[in-house]
């Protein structure tokens, strides 16, 4: 296993989101830095700050957050830990979800709400322009052209650099691209759940960043004696690290954002950037269901 003194997210290579926002492909997701149910303050605020600062020290340049995390708890943590932001650090955030309590999420895509939340994101993050603003969920009660149109208006005003989507289908992306340029999609995808494979293949063909959330779900795949556990042992790595290596190998457009509230776990995740799978090893992992 790679020493904590030598690991760096840059070992995973880079991707240019939208053609001009260059980030290291292994990023960091902040959702786990909140309280239980993605609600309220973390139990250890100082620890959360330390994780964010360590992530940047380890070469992480893509930080993923959302107004709904807390809500606004992770934005405040990011600002306290990292502002003013180092050159090359990109903040991706999301709008379009309302929160009624722990583990409660209701999409709201009314243009005035999306604008309000974007303005609050700008204020809480302490930036004049959001690097990547993603629609957290498409609201089925609001016309898509109104939702994407409002994000495009914010982009035209210089408040948003790039626009992305979250939890969508290929048809959703194609429809949104008729309204504004879409440079990223963020969907559930990991070794155990590959329901978004069609979307990933579409994203690769179109040069769209694919940001898999919940990338470390290995479950029974990592049990002793399984191909995942055996390959991990051969690399002196953990099953979770192999799961990340598989995602990075799966497509050049994948940008995994594993999250954690532990510095030690963060270092373990980032070390996966340096794991190189052979074609045979990748095929063995790909064959897992």
* Residues annotated catalytic, as ranges: 69
**Within 10 Å of residue 273's Cβ, how many Cβ atoms?**
25
Angle in degrees, CA 130, 120, 62, rounded to 5:
35
Q: Are 7 and 271 in contact, with CB atoms under 8 Å apart? A: yes
Q: Are 199 and 173 in contact, with CB atoms under 8 Å apart? A: yes
| 23: three-class secondary structure by DSSP | strand
Q: Are 246 and 254 in contact, with CB atoms under 8 Å apart? A: no
Closest CA to 179 of 127, 131, 109: 109
CA distances for 18 relative to 66, 223, 260, angstroms: 20, 39, 27
Closest CA to 154 of 199, 113, 197, 202: 113
Looking only at the bridges linking them, the beta strands covering 21-24 and 14-17 are antiparallel
């Amino acid at each position: 296993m790679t020493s904590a003194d030598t690991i760096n997210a840059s070992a995973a290579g880079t991707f240019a989101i939208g053609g001009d926002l260059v980030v290291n492909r292994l990023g960091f997701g902040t959702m786990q830095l909140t309280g239980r149910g993605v609600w309220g303050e973390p139990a250890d605020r100082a620890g959360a700050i330390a994780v964010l600062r360590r992530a940047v020290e380890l070469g992480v340049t893509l930080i993923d957050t959302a107004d709904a995390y807390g809500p606004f708890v992770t934005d405040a943590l990011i600002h306290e830990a990292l502002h003013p932001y180092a050159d090359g650090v990109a903040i991706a955030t999301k709008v379009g979800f309302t929160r009624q309590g722990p583990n409660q999420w209701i999409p709201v895509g009314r243009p005035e709400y999306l604008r309000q939340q974007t303005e609050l994101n700008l204020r809480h993050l302490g930036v004049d322009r959001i690097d990547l603003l993603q629609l957290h969920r498409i609201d089925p009660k609001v016309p898509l052209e109104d939702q994407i149109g409002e994000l495009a208006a914010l982009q035209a005003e210089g408040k948003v650099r790039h626009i992305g989507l979250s939890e969508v289908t290929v048809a959703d992306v194609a429809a949104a691209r008729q309204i504004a340029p879409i440079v990223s999609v963020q969907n559930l995808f990991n070794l155990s759940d590959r329901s978004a494979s069609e979307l990933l293949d579409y994203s690769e063909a179109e040069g769209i960043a694919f940001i898999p959330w919940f990338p470390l779900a290995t479950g029974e795949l990592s049990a002793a004696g399984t191909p995942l556990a055996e390959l991990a042992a051969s690399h002196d790595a953990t099953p979770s690290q192999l799961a990340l290596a598989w995602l990075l190998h799966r497509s050049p457009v994948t940008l995994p954002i594993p999250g954690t509230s532990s510095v030690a776990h963060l270092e373990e995740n980032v070390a996966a950037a340096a794991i190189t799978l052979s074609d045979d090893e990748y095929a063995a992992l790909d064959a897992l269901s």
